[in-house]
Chains A and B, each alone.
Chain A
Amino acid sequence: MSERVAVRKTYKLYIGGKFPRSESGRSYLVQSGENSTANVALASRKDARDAVVAARAAGSGWAGATAYNRGQILYRAAEMLEGRREQFVALGITGDEVDAATDRWVWYAGWSDKLPQVRGGVNPVAGPYLNLSTPEPTGVVAVVAPAAPALLGLVSVIAPAIVSGNTVVVAASPTDPLAAVTLAEVLATADLPAGVVNILTGRLQETVPSLAGHRDVNALDLAGVADAELATGLEVKAAENLKRVLRPVPTNHDWYADPGLARMTALLETKTVWHPKGG
């Protein structure tokens, strides 16, 4: 009996809820498991621009969804990820990492309707006014995913950005992009609205500078930028429209540790409302 010939997967970008090839038509070769390789889309600056457009378009709907609804969707992402555990293991990711990534979705899912309670509140101003501060998402966030751990690192930068209503354009780890594309498949089946998460694969030097300079991007997370000089250059570009910048994360960072609130709160604006009180 002859052995069944496997059907191999095409790894594409994830933009606006769809899985297009790079508009440039280019791809590059990566290892996909022990004995096989895959061609991964090599995103261009135009792909990055399209991704920003998609993220911006998704922004008002996502930020306007109820916190409860966003929490449900993030939890659904955990359910989907748990269900595809073996798929990630086949890519060479340890089971422990997949479990940690799943738990991270659960952790952030619970924050959607609690963050405003922890970060907002009434301010007792000296006068007959109600004065109320509430956190709001900052907008479109460009994220450079950590090179490793490919899955846990990725989830750990995406989830805290989107839980509060931001939308993201993620530059995936160039050396390990398959986890990112596979995660996109998880998100596409988790009821996440199109455009909330957009994932680019390819060379950071190509996509990230254009994201850092893009005037319709509100924040830049440099988590995965290992080259200090590149990071500074990107931060300088980001200064042009005063993007909120998260600096690179040291490569020895323990992504398994309690993530705390910092990555969420860095991507929030605070809005304060005054209203008189009078009969």
Chain B
Amino acid sequence: MFEYAPAPESRSVVRLQPAYGLFVGGEFVDPTDGDSFTSINPASEEVLAEVAAGGVGDVDRAVRAARTAYDRVWGPMPGRDRAKYLFRIARLIQERSRELAVLESLDNGKPIKESRDVDLPLVAAHFFYYAGWADKLDHAGFGPNPRPLGVAAQIIPWNFPLLMLAWKIAPALATGNTVVLKPAETTPLTALLFAEICQQADLPAGVVNIVTGAGETGRALVEHHDVDKVAFTGSTEVGRAIARAVAGRDTKLTLELGGKAANIVFDDAPVDQAVEGIVNGIFFNQGHVCCAGSRLLLQESVADQVLASLKRRVAQLRVGDPLDKNSDIGAINSAAQLARISELADAGAAEGAQRWSPPCELPEQGFWFAPTIFTGVTQAHRIAREEIFGPVLSVLTFRTPAEAVEKANNTPYGLSAGVWTEKGSRMLWLAERLRAGVVWANTFNKFDPTSPFGGYQESGYGREGGRHGLEAYLNV
């Protein structure tokens, strides 16, 4: 047996402070009416740092700082100069990428190979891409001289903390807005390190403000009368509440919410690559991915064969220490999320689907969930309808392309879909009919700063990334 020895990435590159304030007006400040909370390492439950919880007054202070920066500095600044600040930030992220990757894995629980090879390169690339737009907005297809909105309130989730920050902040700043960003309660630390990077880049004070906290902090930010734009990534439930909260206000809103993506495998698929795509679709980032391919639709003529290959492959996954360079699957982000995954998986078994997991030893400390596959799932099962946001795959079957489309679209969501076939024309036929914002063909979970991302229906509205991503932050 080829036993891989432990290959832990060193933590020493990260120097955490015991406590963090809010980043307002270019400085770290103590909250005035807020509280504090701790952020833990979900792989060990060790406390990483104490973090301020911003109150209503703190949010107001941050919005005012952003407004001032918008009026006096960032709004009037030529795009060429905004670009240079964003290029600087991109370079600083590249230079400090190992530090950021390790901290991301510590705070989030995702394997270091993903934070190192996926998250961080995409974060830097996103800033590079939007830096380039800052002085080219006239050419973006929105007419001459499109204008920024003003102050953007941005709320991001815990699954890709730094990447979601980049998706929010880079286009907002490139177009001339200033921001107040609230990172997720369980993963605030890389956003605070990003605040230090803003300081290092000499970004003018108040252009980026980071207010940590939980739901109440987010609510105060969304409800603040002086924000011109709200951008939210997270659950559909909270997205709905935000849509209600901004109703009737002159506030532009974009939402990137949940999903229940179908990953459709035809009998002429490149099987070995399809199996990789299925695994990547649902087990990447512990399945904490809004666009995860959580519903596998197999054509009946190859269902058994693909499933056998899939199980063999899943048995190879290495679950464990997120900082071990050979871990494929890390820790579940929080106790609450683990409870939700467990509850839905139990419901799947109780409703009659067959549950399978490979033999795998889970650590004693921390929050863990073994990769799980449910077969014999029907459209009626909860695990086929509700977003689990964990490493749980529901397998269904279909007979014809038309049936595949019907089943894939039979959901209130519409974020993404996957199609596996060697036949190009079938792939395009399906892509045309799938009600999803992103369709991956013979690949899955691919992201690029030039490529727009976002959902249909209850997966939200607006697009992030690409030329389309500018629109969310322009007065057009």
Q: Please list the residues of chain A having a beta carbon within 8 angstroms of any beta carbon in chain B.
A: 67-68, 71-72, 75, 103, 106-107, 109-114, 117-118, 128, 130, 261, 275-279
Assess the A261–B429 pair: CB atoms within 8 A.
no
Q: Does B426 contact A (CB under 8 A)?
A: yes
Instruction: List 18 A-B pairs, Cβ < 8 Å.
Output: A67-B450, A68-B128, A71-B132, A72-B128, A106-B84, A107-B80, A110-B83, A110-B135, A112-B132, A113-B132, A114-B132, A114-B139, A117-B450, A117-B466, A117-B467, A118-B140, A277-B431, A277-B432
A71 vs B83: C-alpha distance in the bound complex, in angstroms?
A: 14
7 extra A-B contacts, CB within 8 A, seeds A113-B132, A278-B429, A279-B429: A109-B132, A110-B135, A111-B136, A113-B129, A114-B133, A114-B467, A118-B140
Assess the A275–B428 pair: CB atoms within 8 A.
yes
A128 vs B426: C-alpha distance in the bound complex, in angstroms?
A: 11
A110 vs B466: C-alpha distance in the bound complex, in angstroms?
A: 13
Q: Please list the residues of chain B having a beta carbon within 8 angstroms of any beta carbon in chain A.
A: 80, 83-84, 87, 125, 128-129, 131-136, 139-141, 400-402, 424-426, 428-432, 449-450, 466-467
Contacts A103-B80, A117-B466, A261-B139; A276 near B428 (Cβ below 8 A): yes
Assess the B141–A279 pair: CB atoms within 8 A.
no
A113 vs B136: C-alpha distance in the bound complex, in angstroms?
A: 12
Q: Chain A residues near B83 (CB, 8 Å)?
A: 106, 110
Report the minimal beta-carbon distance from B434 to chain A, rounded to whole angstroms: 12
Q: Chain A residues near B428 (CB, 8 Å)?
A: 130, 275-278
Q: Which residue of B lies closest to A75 (CB)?
A: B87
A277 vs B128: C-alpha distance in the bound complex, in angstroms?
A: 35
Taking a contact as CB atoms closer than 8 A, the residue among A107, A261, A279 that contacts B135 in the complex is A107
Q: Chain A residues near B426 (CB, 8 Å)?
A: 278-279
A2 vs B336: C-alpha distance in the bound complex, in angstroms?
A: 78
Assess the B425–A278 pair: CB atoms within 8 A.
yes
Assess the B125–A114 pair: CB atoms within 8 A.
no
Q: Which residue of A lies closest to B130 (CB)?
A: A110
Q: Chain B residues near A103 (CB, 8 Å)?
A: 80
Q: Chain B residues near A114 (CB, 8 Å)?
A: 132-133, 136, 139, 450, 467
Report the minimal beta-carbon distance from A69 to chain B, rounded to whole angstroms: 10
A113 vs B432: C-alpha distance in the bound complex, in angstroms?
A: 26
A118 vs B139: C-alpha distance in the bound complex, in angstroms?
A: 7
A118 vs B138: C-alpha distance in the bound complex, in angstroms?
A: 11
Contacts A107-B135, A110-B83, A117-B467; A68 near B125 (Cβ below 8 A): yes
Q: Which residue of B lies closest to A108 (CB)?
A: B132
Q: Chain A residues near B132 (CB, 8 Å)?
A: 71, 109-114
A107 vs B431: C-alpha distance in the bound complex, in angstroms?
A: 36
Assess the B128–A276 pair: CB atoms within 8 A.
no
A67 vs B450: C-alpha distance in the bound complex, in angstroms?
A: 10
Contacts A110-B83, A117-B466, A118-B467; A276 near B133 (Cβ below 8 A): no
Report the minimal beta-carbon distance from A83 to chain B, rounded to whole angstroms: 14
A112 vs B131: C-alpha distance in the bound complex, in angstroms?
A: 12
Assess the B424–A275 pair: CB atoms within 8 A.
yes
Q: Chain A residues near B466 (CB, 8 Å)?
A: 117
A109 vs B133: C-alpha distance in the bound complex, in angstroms?
A: 10
Assess the A275–B425 pair: CB atoms within 8 A.
yes
A275 vs B441: C-alpha distance in the bound complex, in angstroms?
A: 15
Report the minimal beta-carbon distance from A84 to chain B, rounded to whole angstroms: 18
A75 vs B83: C-alpha distance in the bound complex, in angstroms?
A: 12
Taking a contact as CB atoms closer than 8 A, the residue among A67, A106, A113 that contacts B87 in the complex is A106
Assess the B402–A279 pair: CB atoms within 8 A.
yes
Report the minimal beta-carbon distance from B266 to chain A, rounded to whole angstroms: 10
Report the minimal beta-carbon distance from B168 to chain A, rounded to whole angstroms: 20
